[in-house]
Amino acid sequence: MIERHFARLRARDVVDAAEEEAIRSAISEIREYPADLTFIRAGELLHNSTLLLDGFMCRYKDLKSGQRQITELHVAGDFADLHSFTLKRLDHEVMTLTPCRVAIVPHDNLARITEEFPHLTRMYWFMTNVDAAVHREWELSLGRRSAIARLASLFCELHTRLKLVGLAEGSSFALPLTQTDLAECLGLTNVHVNRTLRELREKGLVEFQGGKVTIRNRTELANVGEFDPSYLYLDHRPI
Amino acid sequence: MARYHLHLHNSIGFVRDEEGAEFQDLEEARSSAVDSVRSILCEEVEQGVIDLRGWIDIADPGGDLLASIRFAEAVELRLDGEES
C-alpha cells in the first residue's frame, strides 16, 4: 500500500532505492483506524506523523456551535500531518472519514531522514508546500466560487489526485463520503449539496451515487469549476 | 441522534434526499433546513432572483413527514412602503 506514497512522490521527481529504503524503514508500525475517528486533536503534543495507506481522512477546524469546516481531504499515499514534524502541535484536528490503514512515522525517524537524505528532505518540503497550495485553492472556493463551481472543482481535484495513485479508473473513482462530509468540505448545507449534485447530474457533467463518482464530461466540469491542476504541481522535475 | 431526510421542493423541481443526515432531534433538523433555505436563497439573489415558492420536507427514514419549512418562513421580508 505504501506504493501509493511512492507513486505520489515519483510523479514529481526520482526517488532512488536508498531513499525508498529510508522511507520504508522510517515506519514504526501500521495501524487500522475506524471511520469518523478524530485521532489528532488540536494542541496535543505529537511525536509521530501519519502516512495514509488506504482510506480517506481530513483536516478540519470547528466552532463551538459544532459547525465543522474540513480544510483538506487526504487520499491514500498522502502524509496527513507531515507539518506536525516541525510544528509539534497542530492548530486543527485530523479525522478519518472512512476506515483507514495508516503507517506511523516517528518524528525522530523523520529527523534522521533530514540529516542523511537532503534530496528526500526537499521532496517532503515540496509536499507540505503542495498541501498549502491545496488550502489556497479551497480558500478561493469557500470565499468566491458558487456552489456548483465548488463541487465541480472538488471532484476534479479528487479525480486528479486519485488517478495519480492508481485509484481512479478512467473517469470514475470511489468516493465513500457522505453528503455531510461534502457539505463540510464546501461550506454548504446538506440540502444545498444535494441540490447542487442534481444540477451537475442534469447538466450531464458528473454523477455521485453509492459512494462512486462518475465524470461524464471532464472538460465542461473543469470549466464550471475553473479547475486548473497547476496548483497540484504535477510536473516531473528535479526538486 | 436520529436520521432525518430533508427533501427540497423549489423552482428547479424536487430534490429527494436519499441519504439523510444525523441530527440531535427534529429541532436541529429544522434549523438545518432553515440554514439550507437561506443558503439557497443567497445564491439565487446573486443571480438576481428571489423565489420564495419552495419548501423543505423533513421526513424520518420510514418516509413519514415530520415537518415542512416554507422558504418564506426562513426569512423576514421587508418591502418598500411598509413601516420599519
Q: Are A89 and A21 in contact (CB under 8 A)?
A: no
Do residues A42 and A118 share a domain? Answer: yes
| Nearest residue of chain A to residue B35 (CA atoms) | A189
List, for residues A217-233, the tens digit of each pLDDT value.
999 999 999 999 999 99
- B26 is a domain residue: yes
**B49 part of contact set with chain A, CB < 8 Å:** no
Give the ipTM: 0.88
Q: DSSP per residue over B4-50, as a string?
A: EEEEEEETTEEE--SS-EEESSHHHHHHHHHHHHHHHHHHHHHTT--
For range A71-75, the mean pLDDT: 98
- Using the 3D structure, point to which of A137, A163, A190 is the last residue of a domain: A137
- A121 is a domain residue: yes
Which chain B residues have a beta carbon less than 8 Å from that of A192? Answer: 36, 39-40, 43
For range A182-211, the mean pLDDT: 95
Given this model, what pLDDT does residue A146 score?
A: 94
Do residues A57 and A162 share a domain? Answer: no
**A189 part of contact set with chain B, CB < 8 Å:** yes
Residue among A147, A179, A191 minimizing CB distance to B56: A191
Mean of all residue pLDDT scores within chain A: 97
Mean of all residue pLDDT scores within chain B: 92
**B59 part of contact set with chain A, CB < 8 Å:** no
- B78 is a domain residue: no
Given this model, what pLDDT does residue A52 score?
A: 98
- A21 is a domain residue: yes
DSSP state for residue A217 in the 8-state scheme: -
Do residues A110 and A218 share a domain? Answer: no
Do residues A87 and A191 share a domain? Answer: no
For range B34-51, the mean pLDDT: 91
Q: How many structural domains are present in chain B?
A: 1
Whether residue A194 and residue B35 make contact (CB cut-off 8 A), yes or no, is: no
- Using the 3D structure, point to which of A97, A117, A137 is the last residue of a domain: A137
Could you give the CA distance from residue A17 to residue A23 in angstroms, rounded to a whole number?
10
What the block records as the C-alpha cell of B78 is 421587508
Whether residue A189 and residue B32 make contact (CB cut-off 8 A), yes or no, is: yes
Which pTM value belongs to this model?
0.94
Do residues A93 and A151 share a domain? Answer: no
- A238 is a domain residue: no
Q: How far is CA A35 from the centre of its chain?
A: 16
Residue B60 belongs to domain spanning = 2-73
Which chain A residues have a beta carbon less than 8 Å from that of B40? Answer: 191-192, 195
Given this model, what pLDDT does residue B10 score?
A: 84
- B81 is a domain residue: no
Q: How many structural domains are present in chain A?
A: 2
The pLDDT > 70 percentage for chain A reads 100
Do residues A41 and A24 share a domain? Answer: yes
Residue among A147, A188, A198 minimizing CB distance to B15: A198
| Run of H or E residues at A20 | helix A17-26
- Using the 3D structure, point to which of A81, A107, A137 is the last residue of a domain: A137
For range B22-29, the mean pLDDT: 94
> Residue A65 above 90 pLDDT?
no
Whether residue B40 and residue A190 make contact (CB cut-off 8 A), yes or no, is: no
Where residue A57 sits, what CATH number does that domain have? 2.60.120.10
Please, is A34 exposed, middle or buried when counting C-beta atoms within 10 Å of its C-beta (0-12, 13-18, 19+)?
Answer: exposed
Could you give the CA distance from residue A151 to residue A100 in angstroms, rounded to a whole number?
24
Given this model, what pLDDT does residue A182 score?
A: 97
- A68 is a domain residue: yes
Exposure class string for A51-79: b at 16+ Cβ within 10 A, else e: bbbbbbbbbbeeeeeeebbbbbbbbbbbb
For range B42-64, the mean pLDDT: 92
List, for residues A103-157, the tens digit of each pLDDT value.
999 999 999 999 999 999 999 999 999 999 999 999 999 999 999 999 999 999 9
Which chain A residues have a beta carbon less than 8 Å from that of B43? Answer: 146-147, 192
- B52 is a domain residue: yes
Which chain A residues have a beta carbon less than 8 Å from that of B6? Answer: 190-191, 194
Could you give the CA distance from residue A13 to residue A120 in angstroms, rounded to a whole number?
10
Residue A62 belongs to domain spanning = 3-137
Given this model, what pLDDT does residue B81 score?
A: 83
**B21 part of contact set with chain A, CB < 8 Å:** yes
Rounded to a whole number of angstroms, the distance from the CA of B18 to the nearest CA of chain A is 9
- B84 is a domain residue: no
- B19 is a domain residue: yes
DSSP state for residue B54 in the 8-state scheme: -
Whether residue B36 and residue A191 make contact (CB cut-off 8 A), yes or no, is: yes
